[in-house]
Chains A and B, each alone.
Chain A
Amino acid sequence: MNIDDLTRTSGEWLRGTGPESDIVMCSRIRLARNLADFPFTNRAGRREKNEIEAAVAASIEQGKIELFVQDVNNLSNLDRQFLFERQLISRELRDAEGPRGVAFSPTEDVSVMINEEDHLRIQVMHSGLSLGSVWDRINYIDDRLEERLDYAFSPRLGYLTACPTNVGTGIRVGVLVHLPALVQTKQIEKVFRALQKINLAVRGLYGEGTQASGDFYQISNQQTLGKSEQDLIRNLSEVVPQIIQYERGARQALVGEQRRQYLHDQVSRAYGVLKTAHTISSEETMLLLSSVRMGINLGLIDDLEIPIVNELFIHTQPAHLQKIQGRILETDERNVARASYLRNRLSNGRHDPKNDG
């Protein structure tokens, strides 16, 4: 398996299956772990980082854990950006310097970043609202890695991390939710404020919180010390259904008797532009895909499936387009390539893509 193989597939978390998957794109948990015998990454020299990377790679190989280990330091900028767009590595790992890597499973549900802020950042993502299965999987991977690695751990403070905001469980429990109706009805700020009051953090798809990220928001815990993993998972699991209910309420208001035709018009126009445009920016694509995704879920579009739309959010990102085309593209060229890719994927075989010109 190598990076180029990934251009032909997409992650399990984009399948669009699992409970509440019309609103909850995926559930995600990450664990921060450090090796006891080394300084934290920010104080580790090149030699130490190499040893850490080798120790983690050896534990994966000897433990026969089904993960593909990819060195990140020697990758091109394009490949690093590609892994970032796929959510396999973080912005911090993408932009860092020195020895570092990532190990991921063939279905991309597991990713283990090496030499990020902490020596290990283990991440598991599953489609839909499925935090239980995500925890089972990540707990298993964590145990398997720990068979051959000595984690920095204190009985009093738990897993010791480079930043005290992660100490204890080292866990971040999150869901990636699609909230276009709450954005459109301008209720989203209210929801954010309510979440912040109960110590939950809100971020955009790639960290930033703008509509340009397709109305996707990550909601996650901030507290990591003093509560068990199960408690923190339960806390979030209790809040998410309320957010889902608000979003469904807002959607119903949008398709209510008087306004249905306006929403239907907006969704159809978005779909129309995506199917016919000849040059389109990333921001516009995200905005329109978001409308189309909601349209499918409300039964306003019936000839397109959710997994394809989910995949398009990722595959129309700059590095993905360039990997698919196999060459470096400037912004203008990318906008043309993006439009062409969208026309092909959305044509449903009803006409020959070659005639699209």
Chain B
Amino acid sequence: MKLKCQKCAKPATFHITDIEHGKPLEYHFCEEHARRHLAPSAEEQAEQQLAGKFSKDSPALGGALKTEPSAADRRVCPICNISFLEFRNTGRLGCPYDYEVFRDELMPLLESIHEDTRHAGKTPRRAPRNTEQQTALIQLRNDLNRAVAAEDYEAAAKIRDQIKAIEQEQSARRTAPS
């Protein structure tokens, strides 16, 4: 199956291997993001440095962006495929499940931003649902995007049926008297 660009939903048509500190690092990009990766504009470089403040805020997150990505940086969310390094670069997480996946890295960051790591406010009126189903849906939607990008419509149709089945189950439970 064809890979999706690491930065956007387009298919990855450029596969770049950078040698950083003697180790190969693979990137998969669409044309535009490959160009940006190889020749980032001054503005993007400034942006990256700004985003680097997240790492400075929290000693637990380790060194600056220019250094070799640590093991934590390379960890990838199995649900939305974002790496921790991508989060550090943009300051944005990819899906709700990231708070679980990157828990060890995020907790010190939350402590330094909010001086607290435990919610003390409002709770949704309805009990939170089956989180397995929620993350399964995000993952299936991701798979669907890839299947469509790869023009594998047979797989896409199957994934769509799976999504529909979970959604129907959920809406049936929602309308059922509690």
Do A and B pair up? The answer is yes
Chain A contacts to B: CB under 8 angstroms: 34, 36-40, 42-43, 45-48, 117, 139, 142-143, 146-148, 150-160, 162-165, 167-169, 171, 223-229, 231
Q: Which of B82, B91, B125, B137 contacts A163 (CB 8 A)?
A: B91
Could you tell me the distance in whole angstroms from the C-beta of B148 to the nearest C-beta in chain A? 8
Supposing A43-B80, A229-B121 touch, asked if A160 and B99 sit within 8 A by C-beta, the answer is: yes
A226, B94: Cβ atoms closer than 8 Å: no
Chain A hits for B138, CB < 8 A = 37-39
**Chain B residue nearest in CB terms to A169:** B121
Q: Which of B113, B120, B141, B144 contacts A227 (CB 8 A)?
A: B120
Chain B hits for A227, CB < 8 A = 116, 120-121
The 9 closest A-B pairs by CB, nearest first: A226-B116, A158-B119, A152-B96, A225-B114, A169-B121, A43-B94, A37-B137, A45-B9, A160-B96
Q: Which of A150, A153, A163 contacts B93 (CB 8 A)?
A: A163
A168, B119: Cβ atoms closer than 8 Å: yes
- Please list 10 pairs of residues, one from A and one from B, whose beta carbons are closer than 8 Å in the complex, sorted by A's number: A36-B128, A37-B141, A38-B138, A40-B95, A154-B99, A164-B113, A169-B122, A223-B113, A228-B122, A229-B122
Interface digits, B117-135 against A, CB 8 Å rule (1 contact, 0 not)?
1111111111011010010
Q: Check if B17 is an interface residue, CB within 8 A of chain A.
A: no
Q: Which of A39, A154, A228 contacts B94 (CB 8 A)?
A: A39
Q: Check if B55 is an interface residue, CB within 8 A of chain A.
A: no
A228, B121: Cβ atoms closer than 8 Å: yes
A156, B95: Cβ atoms closer than 8 Å: no
Chain B hits for A171, CB < 8 A = 121
Q: Check if B48 is an interface residue, CB within 8 A of chain A.
A: no
Residue among B94, B114, B131, B141 having the largest count of chain A Cβ atoms under 10 Å: B114
Could you tell me the distance in whole angstroms from the C-beta of A203 to the nearest C-beta in chain B? 17
Could you tell me the distance in whole angstroms from the C-beta of A218 to the nearest C-beta in chain B? 20
Interface digits, B74-95 against A, CB 8 Å rule (1 contact, 0 not)?
0000011010000000111111
Q: Check if B109 is an interface residue, CB within 8 A of chain A.
A: yes
Chain B contacts to A: CB under 8 angstroms: 9, 79-80, 82, 90-96, 99, 106, 109-110, 113-126, 128-129, 131, 134, 137-138, 141-142, 144-145, 167, 170, 174
A168, B137: Cβ atoms closer than 8 Å: no
A224 to B118, CA, bound (A): 10
Chain A hits for B144, CB < 8 A = 47
Chain A hits for B110, CB < 8 A = 157, 164, 167, 225
**Chain A residue nearest in CB terms to B149:** A45
Chain B hits for A150, CB < 8 A = 126, 129, 134, 170
A319 to B48, CA, bound (A): 33
Chain B hits for A143, CB < 8 A = 125
A167 to B80, CA, bound (A): 19
Could you tell me the distance in whole angstroms from the C-beta of A52 to the nearest C-beta in chain B? 11
A224 to B110, CA, bound (A): 10
Supposing A39-B94, A160-B99, A225-B114 touch, asked if A146 and B126 sit within 8 A by C-beta, the answer is: yes
A314 to B145, CA, bound (A): 42
**Chain B residue nearest in CB terms to A227:** B120
A182 to B115, CA, bound (A): 31
Could you tell me the distance in whole angstroms from the C-beta of A348 to the nearest C-beta in chain B? 47
Q: Which of A34, A46, A223 contacts B114 (CB 8 A)?
A: A223
B118, A226: Cβ atoms closer than 8 Å: yes
Could you tell me the distance in whole angstroms from the C-beta of B152 to the nearest C-beta in chain A? 16
Q: Which of B82, B91, B118, B134 contacts A36 (CB 8 A)?
A: B134
A156, B141: Cβ atoms closer than 8 Å: no
**Chain A residue nearest in CB terms to B136:** A37
Task: List 10 additional A-B contacts (Cβ < 8 Å) besides A154-B119, A162-B92.
Answer: A37-B167, A42-B92, A43-B95, A155-B119, A164-B113, A167-B99, A169-B122, A223-B114, A226-B118, A226-B119
A45 to B110, CA, bound (A): 28
Chain A hits for B116, CB < 8 A = 223, 225-227
A226, B120: Cβ atoms closer than 8 Å: yes
**Chain B residue nearest in CB terms to A231:** B120
Chain A hits for B106, CB < 8 A = 164
**Chain A residue nearest in CB terms to B95:** A39
B92, A156: Cβ atoms closer than 8 Å: no
